[in-house]
Amino acid sequence: MFIGKASSPGYVIAKTKIIVRQRFTVSPLKIQKDSTASQIEFFRRGVVKAKKEIANLRDLTIKMAGKEESKIFDSHLMILQDPSLIDSVISLIKNDQWNAGYAFHLYMQKLIESFEKSGKVFKNRMQDDLRDIYSRVLLHLSSNDNNFVVQEEIEEAVVLTGFTVGPNMLMQFEKGEILGLALDSGSTTSHVSILARSMQIPAVMGLGNLSESVESGDLLILDGTNGVVIINPDENDINKYKKQIEVFQNQKLELFTMRDLEPITMDGKYIRLNANIEKFEEASDVTSFGATGVGLYRSEFLYFGRDSLPTRSEQAEAYRNVTHQLDPLPVTIRTLDAGGDKMLSSVSMETEDNPFMGWRSIRLCLDRKDIFKEQLKALIEAGDRGNLNIMFPMISGVKEIERSKEIYNDCCAELRLEGIAIPKIRLGAMIEIPSAVMVVEEIAKRVDFLSIGTNDLIQFTLAVDRSNSKISAMYEPHHPAVLRFIKTIVDAAHKAGIPVCVCGEMVSEPLSTLLLMGLGVDEFSMVSWCIMECKKIIRSVNYDEARAISAEALKLSDTDSINDFLRKKYSKKIKGLGISSFITTPAFSTSDRALVRIDDEIQRLGT
């Protein structure tokens, strides 16, 4: 049994397929003299990132297996700290003008070959160590996002297992091929977790070294509700989870009775419930789950898995498929939000030390006006039914909104010259950076709506990398600073007479739903299948009571006090609604026993 982070609810009993790292194709590219400095810096950054990964592995090994076992990683670090390695690669870049990846490849291949004449045991160990270092550093010297492949072709629906999966790779699989995700790394708020929830794929992240303990074809039980994975379960495990799958499915069916009911509180407050989608094909699911529109269409997925940018006509057709199909329901489409862990092969994007705070999102679009204008023109063409909202992401201040609107107006003028009528389209800003919160009143005066991206707002406010498992416990949606920021945004929007929506993952957690509603949020946007659960919660409470509870929560000074207060006020109500298994399933405790693999033997241990 492996315990990880419950990232997407649901249960799966299925065989596994392992994802492995692809072999790198190293291209020998000659660079210009004036590019050597940037390539040397690129190489140094790659080494630093690899050393950080190795140091983390060493620390984890000390904790899990002891200091003696961790010494292998000390030797890896010593190799990467060897001045002769660094100086030799820099010399190949500076003097021979090779690109960083090929220069490192040349040096490491020569080093590996030098051990060919060593004694067998020593030779094999050193070659294995050097190849591991070789692959780890080259991973950071490659801009290829698709550097993981499935070990074998998928012939039946499986649980995908491996160290990590990028959003790009997950989107390449056909619907139904992937029943679940069980990954060594990742967090509940990573983009892959968000996609898994959106695609209704149960997922467990942060499982440590699960991928080293399974083989393709092993039977797994994956419990995405509680964060548990069981390898090669016995009949008792299987029967227990078959019953839980039945309970889970029955609860989902019961929630469908909410589909056609209004999301309105007991005292008459209407809360719009929108759906998040990644592909235009998902538009048909929106109304079937009782959504009142699309609050976030992540347009960047149109750009993934291709070597060239999508044309204006391709984009217009995709956007029109959503706006026309859902007319008259509102559709909010976010402009290109690439960068971070969502790299585009069709756009030259250099590796950055901190890509989540780097050249991404609206920054990329404002620099690459050619890409931005093509998308905006496609959006304007697709808004001919009058139900389109365009949202600009990662706004940090007034200047970015004004520049975005100027480019939008330029697009309108150019389209009029083509004889295209310009429909009424609402423009909005996504507030997800603390600087934007501090000037939100000024931003609100310049837009038609605000949307709060809580995933990044929490990350940037608390200085917590949500993908870092070491500090994942510090990612606190109910931190007082986060809640006060949200209240500031809501008050600014209402002062300007415009609505405010929350479209982060926070909104689909029941306690957070009630807290946000009490803070005055007008609209929620979430993965489609969470909407009916959210609707049931909203219909069970009084708005005035929720406002009073949220006001009291704002006065508290720490996260634990806020969570304790919210549980005291709401837990009994949530459990009474019969949806508690979507939050946690206490009956399936991980304290029964654990399975531990030691020297290729599975041992059954009490915990």
CA distances from residue 287 to 96, 284, 395 in whole angstroms, order as listed: 61, 7, 30
Ramachandran angles phi, psi of 589, nearest 5°: -75, 145
Q: Among 501, 503, 530, 534, which one carries the catalytic annotation? A: 503
CA distances from residue 458 to 204, 261, 320, 480, 522 in whole angstroms, order as listed: 21, 32, 33, 11, 20
CB atoms closer than 10 angstroms to residue 11: 25
The helix (run of H) or strand (run of E) holding residue 44 is helix 36-65
The helix (run of H) or strand (run of E) holding residue 58 is helix 36-65
CA distances from residue 327 to 86, 259, 275 in whole angstroms, order as listed: 60, 18, 14
Half-sphere exposure of 178 (CA within 13 A, CB side): 24
CB atoms closer than 10 angstroms to residue 14: 16
Angle formed at CA 316 by CA 315 and CA 322, multiple of 5 degrees? 100
- CA dist 173 and 115 (Å) reads 41
CB-based burial label for 52 (10 Å; 0-12, 13-18, 19+):
exposed
Q: Among 76, 105, 191, 479, which one carries the catalytic annotation? A: 191
Instruction: Provide the strand spans (E) within 118-170.
Output: 148-150, 158-162
- CA dist 489 and 506 (Å) reads 16
- CA dist 521 and 458 (Å) reads 17
- Residue 239, C-beta contacts closer than 8 angstroms, at least 6 positions apart: none
- CA dist 433 and 483 (Å) reads 14
Is 105 assigned a catalytic role?
no
CA distances from residue 72 to 55, 65, 75, 79, 416 in whole angstroms, order as listed: 11, 12, 5, 11, 66
Is 191 assigned a catalytic role?
yes
- CA dist 286 and 196 (Å) reads 16
- CA dist 223 and 2 (Å) reads 10
The set of catalytic residues is 191, 503
